[in-house]
Structure 1
Amino acid sequence: MKKRLYILLSIVLILFGILIYRLADIQLFSTKSFGPDNVNLLERSVAQRSHQMVLSTGRGQILSRQGEPLTNKKIFDIILFPKLNAEQTYKKISGVLNISAQSLQKKIHNLDQPAFLTSLMDTSIKSEQFNELKKMDLKGIRLMERFKNEDPQLAQHLLGFVRQNPALYQKRYDENSQKETVPVGISGLQEAFDPFLVAQEQEKLLFHVDGHGRPMFGFDLKYAGDNNHFYPAKIKTTLDVPLQKKAEDLFNQYEVNQGGLVLLDVQSRDVLAMVSRPNVDTENPYGNDSIRNHTITADFPGSVFKTVIAAAAIEKGLVDEPRSFNCSKGVYGEEEADRDLGRLNFKQSFAQSCNRTFAKLALELMESDRQIIDKYAKKLGIIGPVGWSGDVFRYEDFTQIPDEEQGTIWADESDRHVKDAIFQTAIGQKNVKVTPLAAANMMANIANNGKRQDARIADQILYQNGAEMASFSQKNNKDKEQQISPLTAKRLRSLLKLVTGNSGTASTLGELPIAGKTGTAELNIDDDEKIEFENSWFVGYFPEKKPKYAMAVVDLRHKPGAQTHHLQIYKKMADAILKKNE
């Protein structure tokens, strides 16, 4: 029994000795190189007591034409710490911010690490509230200004989205580094200008905490970040925030399921507003193709395309003499038309959108030149792409709208020789597709005496300190062979005004100084005779006498006969702009 006791005591002493040695090794002998992995225990100990709050991902901002940040907006915030007994502080904060003190204290009690108040309570802090809080003696919190990175609520499709995508980062920048975890632009301007906007380094606030996550205020808060005054850059867009908000409010009001709006400045071709529906599913942007921007997607324009046939017919002298067309007949000249319009001259045919007139004119034009429709579509700029492109900074052939689709006229070259195919093409059916952006730009070309220009979404690239890195100067197409004549543009303007007149297809817009063209395209999804969907368009410019704005509004893929609101949206948008400029 005594011998067993000695053996047990010896084992305990040996184990105790091993434990003492292990502790000594950890705390004294191997603090900088512990174990087979040579772990620096001192650094790990500091890291365990350290915490960081990201103030900015470091990504560049996108600005409105007024210089207002549209992404990475700077906000006022408060850092809250867990398990702090600061009841009076939280009551003061609740009083200033007009939030529930009980709810705030409950959420703070459940914290296991520091958090931003705006994220915790899903609220915002105004500048006057922030300044009021700064004057108070608030213990246990930190007042901060930071950049909030979130998906855009305004102009979603135009601005685009940012996501983490290591494979895309490596493909785009061909780098093997930790920067592969940096978020990249996956759509819109975020994608187009990603090389200028991509983050260089995060901005962080570093501090120490105790074992409960509470701050050790004996240590100074430290800032870690990139103090580069040049990068990342800022992109100053042409977007007019009040007009963008007005356009989006109208689309929400009328609950447009699929469609869009483009508003251009006629002289500069700046994109002032761009709306696409449906809204993007932020949880799954590519699900149901919600990330698609319908204003730069080519679709069937219907009678909007008759503007091209009209321009060609005017310049080729087919409508100079008095001439009438049988508009009681359908597009092929054999069947009865859906609308019995009787015999109409060229101007009346355009105003009332007579299919037979433009089918007949297109056939006559094609008999003399099989390329003529293509030529005039190009002269008017309706086929596109029309987004600004050129050399900028260190990039050649830079494109502001890389996802813009190019329109089409013919899918099969043999259709140029098929009468029925020509008839359908003349009225914007068959294989004719254009984007709303290109259609709006065509109207701007006509309103500006036929002068072709690119549509511009960004005006400048600015360094971080606000100095100009590059600008996107507008380029006029000076080749007169590539545009319609001023006289043709003038005659087209008179036709477009008739459309909104008393007998026109958009007479509901007549009380405002608007000129333009309606379009309805019929879509047969299964190649049978049944019409599955329709596209409804109105593209035009205003004010009619001295045009300043060109705009396209489209309601896409709606059921035949369904109530559409594209004309109401156009009217209310134009009315708001005209009243603003009075």
Structure 2
Amino acid sequence: MKKRKRIYFLLFLTTIWFGILLYKLVDIQLISTKSYGPINVDLLENSVEQRSHQMLLSSGRGTILDRNGEVLTSKASYDIVVSPTSEGQQVGKRVSQILNLSANKLEKLIKNLDKPTYLSELLTIEIDQNQYEQLKELDKEGFYAVERSKYEDPIIAQHLLGIVRDNPSLYKDRYGQENLLNKSMPVGISGLEKAFDSFLISKEQEKLLFHVDAKGQPMFGFDLLFSGYDNDFYPLKIKTTIDSVLQMKAENLMDDYKMQKGGLVLLDIQSRDLLAMVSRPTINKENPYMQNSVENQMLTRHFPGSVFKTVVAAAAIEQNVIDTQRMFNCSVKIHGDEPDPRDLGELNFAESFAQSCNRTFAVLGTELLAEDEKLFDQYADKLGLIGHAGWTGDIFKYDAFKQFPEEQKGVIWGEESHRSDQNFIRQTSIGQKDVKVTPLAVANMMATIANNGIKKEVRVAERILYNNGATMAAFSQEEDSTNQITPKTATRLRELMQLVTEVGTGKYLNGLSIAGKSGTAETGNNQFNNYWFAGFFPYENPKYAMVVVDIEQSAPSSNIYNVYREMVKYIYEKEN
């Protein structure tokens, strides 16, 4: 009796064990094939990897386009997959004819292969579209003409577009999980690649697959299979407002005039679209964070110097404190107790703006803030100089999405007590002490003035596209009508800025219908200054706002006017 119970018990345990085993088999084979175990292993993909060889066509990451739809962030190329088969050796002569290669050299390379390989990995070669079309028409086993997409750091607009790198810890921090695919999964670490990373990041790699034997040789001939996105929607594309031609010209000018640190910002005034943005120094590709080379200087705060006088002028005009007959002693420094080396003599308000007289604006700033200590803040805000100048809003499932997440806010005061200190007020009035603003914000201020005081945010991305070109989401532009200068004030500021280039500090730009404001700022280090010119053009019908800035320059002068002049001339020539 006891023996029979033991047998029943053993049969019961055996049945339970077989049941568990059967469930596991069903789970592996049928239920959890795409997501097995606590780390969600893709069993199907792993099994394919064990019995097949893979050749990567694309990482599957989305791309960034310029305003005309040209790809900016990855290099599309044509290539040939060459197989170590006898058919592959025989066809070498025809392939070599199409590619203008030595047939003997190509055949020797193929004979020495032990696995299918891209021809570009064997030879330094570029295949054009015409050659690619001819190669596709050849119906031979042993080679396969393909289109590849390879990520490369951008050639132009490095800081704006940004770069991607393999960074598992950043991937986990950003998306709350590890890279379960256990493959290369690059993430954006700067620029638009970082801002739009959640849209661009790869969901699936695009690969060519073929079965191999134990030695890695192709089985069943050379029958290639495609693995990747199985729809027309992904990967996504970000269509920007960048004009690649203008961007390239701006890059070349910065290099031609050896601008070591600084950059250029070019905006379309009406749309407030970013057309070009250059930042120097260039990114250190091997170590982007060395000396912070990855930082976009056009989104970073800098001392603006006399460019800030535009804010003081706007406040003075709207507060009706301007007396056209009033003269200011511009032969003394801001405190009025020391002679100024420039010795400009007695100047009225308009002449003071054109010649950038520090004493005039120190006096006006002190008088304005005696009435309201927050006037500078109010008018800097009206002109879009503080806060974020870049586009911010709700898009898709993201609230308060920022197109320029790396953009720093402008600041005017270091401490609240400085608003009531006349020494600090005088220095602040000429864009010194604690005043720091970004070149992007300064360019937007110029666009606001040129556009009759209408405030808008700067947009660099126009829309997010599906892979088939359909729109997934669009970034609309809206006017900020809550806090603006009046059209009359904007008109008066434009007139003052025209004087700057006609008879003032920017007269080197005379003759090109440019209006604007120059600035030279001390940086706290006696050996270095920031040199600015910010303006708009053409004066009668403004279309463009532009800033050129040379940061922490040790020379007594700068090439900002040369860069500005050449860029404006190029734009005029391009339009005509």
What pairs with 1:128-167 in structure 2 (closer than 5 Å)?
128-135=130-137, 140-167=142-169
The match for 2:42 is none
The match for 1:127 is 129
Q: CA deviation at 1:116?
A: 2.6
The amino acid that maps onto 1:433 is: K
Mapped partners of 2:255, 2:110: distance in 1? 37
Mapped partners of 1:110, 1:287: distance in 2? 42
The amino acid that maps onto 1:155 is: A
The match for 1:500 is 501
- Cα separation, partners in 2 of 1:226 and 1:371, compared to 1, 3 Å: same
Mapped partners of 1:288, 1:108: distance in 2? 46
Q: CA deviation at 1:105?
A: 7.1
Mapped partners of 1:217, 1:72: distance in 2? 34
The match for 2:527 is 532
The amino acid that maps onto 1:228 is: N
Deviations 1:235-286 (A, max 9, x none): 1111111111111111121221111111111011000111111111111111
Q: Which shows bigger deviation, 487-496 or 237-246?
A: 237-246
The match for 1:272 is 275
The match for 2:14 is none
- Cα separation, partners in 2 of 1:179 and 1:518, compared to 1, 3 Å: farther
Please tell me whether the aligned partners of residues 80 and 146 of structure 2 are also in contact (alpha carbons under 8 angstroms).
yes
Mapped partners of 1:194, 1:517: distance in 2? 37
What pairs with 1:207-356 in structure 2 (closer than 5 Å)?
207-209=210-212, 215-216=218-219, 218-356=221-359
The match for 1:514 is 514
- Cα separation, partners in 2 of 1:452 and 1:124, compared to 1, 3 Å: same
Mapped partners of 2:528, 2:98: distance in 1? 54
Please tell me whether the aligned partners of residues 383 and 448 of structure 2 are also in contact (alpha carbons under 8 angstroms).
yes
Mapped partners of 1:417, 1:448: distance in 2? 33
**3-state DSSP of counterpart to 1:79:** strand
Mapped partners of 2:105, 2:407: distance in 1? 48
Please tell me whether the aligned partners of residues 168 and 178 of structure 2 are also in contact (alpha carbons under 8 angstroms).
no
Mapped partners of 2:422, 2:124: distance in 1? 63
The match for 1:362 is 365
The amino acid that maps onto 1:127 is: Q
Q: CA deviation at 1:574?
A: 1.1
Please tell me whether the aligned partners of residues 300 and 428 of structure 1 are also in contact (alpha carbons under 8 angstroms).
yes
The match for 1:572 is 566
The amino acid that maps onto 1:69 is: V
2:462 alignment partner, one of 436, 445, 459: 459
Mapped partners of 2:173, 2:182: distance in 1? 10
Mapped partners of 1:450, 1:45: distance in 2? 64
- Cα separation, partners in 2 of 1:180 and 1:376, compared to 1, 3 Å: farther
**3-state DSSP of counterpart to 1:311:** helix
- Cα separation, partners in 2 of 1:366 and 1:46, compared to 1, 3 Å: closer
Please tell me whether the aligned partners of residues 114 and 217 of structure 2 are also in contact (alpha carbons under 8 angstroms).
no
What pairs with 1:173-184 in structure 2 (closer than 5 Å)?
173-176=175-178, 178-179=180-181, 181=183, 182-184=185-187
The amino acid that maps onto 1:492 is: L
Please tell me whether the aligned partners of residues 104 and 121 of structure 1 are also in contact (alpha carbons under 8 angstroms).
no
Mapped partners of 2:221, 2:473: distance in 1? 47
The amino acid that maps onto 1:484 is: I
1:441 alignment partner, one of 441, 444, 457: 444
Deviations 1:189-234 (A, max 9, x none): 1111111111111111012456775545614111111213333321
Q: CA deviation at 1:415?
A: 1.4
Matched, 1:427 2:430: yes
Mapped partners of 1:486, 1:79: distance in 2? 64
Show structure 2 runs of 5+ residues with no match: 1-27, 29-44
The amino acid that maps onto 1:461 is: I
Q: Normalized against structure 1, the TM-score is what?
A: 0.86
Please tell me whether the aligned partners of residues 261 and 276 of structure 1 are also in contact (alpha carbons under 8 angstroms).
yes
1:63 alignment partner, one of 65, 68, 81: 65
Mapped partners of 1:44, 1:309: distance in 2? 66
Please tell me whether the aligned partners of residues 197 and 232 of structure 1 are also in contact (alpha carbons under 8 angstroms).
yes
What pairs with 1:479-490 in structure 2 (closer than 5 Å)?
479=482, 482-490=483-491
Mapped partners of 1:377, 1:522: distance in 2? 20
Deviations 1:401-456 (A, max 9, x none): 11100011111222112222111111111111000000000000000000100000
- Cα separation, partners in 2 of 1:342 and 1:183, compared to 1, 3 Å: same
Q: CA deviation at 1:539?
A: 0.7
Deviations 1:4-44 (A, max 9, x none): xxxxxxxxxxxxxxxxxxxxxxxxxxxx9xxxxxxxxxx99
Please tell me whether the aligned partners of residues 171 and 179 of structure 2 are also in contact (alpha carbons under 8 angstroms).
no
The amino acid that maps onto 1:356 is: R
Mapped partners of 1:45, 1:477: distance in 2? 57
- Cα separation, partners in 2 of 1:110 and 1:505, compared to 1, 3 Å: farther
The amino acid that maps onto 2:512 is: L
**3-state DSSP of counterpart to 1:263:** strand
Q: CA deviation at 1:135?
A: 4.5
What pairs with 1:59-138 in structure 2 (closer than 5 Å)?
59-81=61-83, 93=95, 96-97=98-99, 113-135=115-137
Mapped partners of 2:309, 2:492: distance in 1? 14
Show structure 1 runs of 5+ residues with no match: 1-31, 33-42, 526-530
Q: CA deviation at 1:115?
A: 3.4
Mapped partners of 1:449, 1:102: distance in 2? 71
Mapped partners of 2:324, 2:204: distance in 1? 70
Mapped partners of 1:438, 1:109: distance in 2? 61
The amino acid that maps onto 2:552 is: R
Q: CA deviation at 1:324?
A: 1.1
What pairs with 1:22-33 in structure 2 (closer than 5 Å)?
none
Please tell me whether the aligned partners of residues 87 and 140 of structure 2 are also in contact (alpha carbons under 8 angstroms).
no
Q: Superposition RMSD on alpha carbons, in Å?
A: 2.6
The match for 1:408 is 411
Q: Which shows bigger deviation, 396-405 or 84-93?
A: 84-93
The match for 1:528 is none
Please tell me whether the aligned partners of residues 385 and 406 of structure 1 are also in contact (alpha carbons under 8 angstroms).
yes
Please tell me whether the aligned partners of residues 251 and 569 of structure 1 are also in contact (alpha carbons under 8 angstroms).
yes
Q: Which shows bigger deviation, 430-439 or 155-164?
A: 155-164
The match for 2:15 is none
The amino acid that maps onto 2:551 is: L
The match for 2:10 is none
Mapped partners of 2:257, 2:106: distance in 1? 38
Please tell me whether the aligned partners of residues 237 and 459 of structure 1 are also in contact (alpha carbons under 8 angstroms).
yes
Q: CA deviation at 1:511?
A: 1.8
Please tell me whether the aligned partners of residues 314 and 320 of structure 1 are also in contact (alpha carbons under 8 angstroms).
no
Q: CA deviation at 1:100?
A: 7.3
Q: CA deviation at 1:126?
A: 1.8
Tell me the number of residue pairs that the alignment of Structure 1 and Structure 2 aligns: 532
Mapped partners of 2:47, 2:451: distance in 1? 70
Matched, 1:417 2:426: no
- Cα separation, partners in 2 of 1:139 and 1:176, compared to 1, 3 Å: closer
**3-state DSSP of counterpart to 1:456:** coil
Q: CA deviation at 1:165?
A: 1.9
Q: CA deviation at 1:114?
A: 3.8
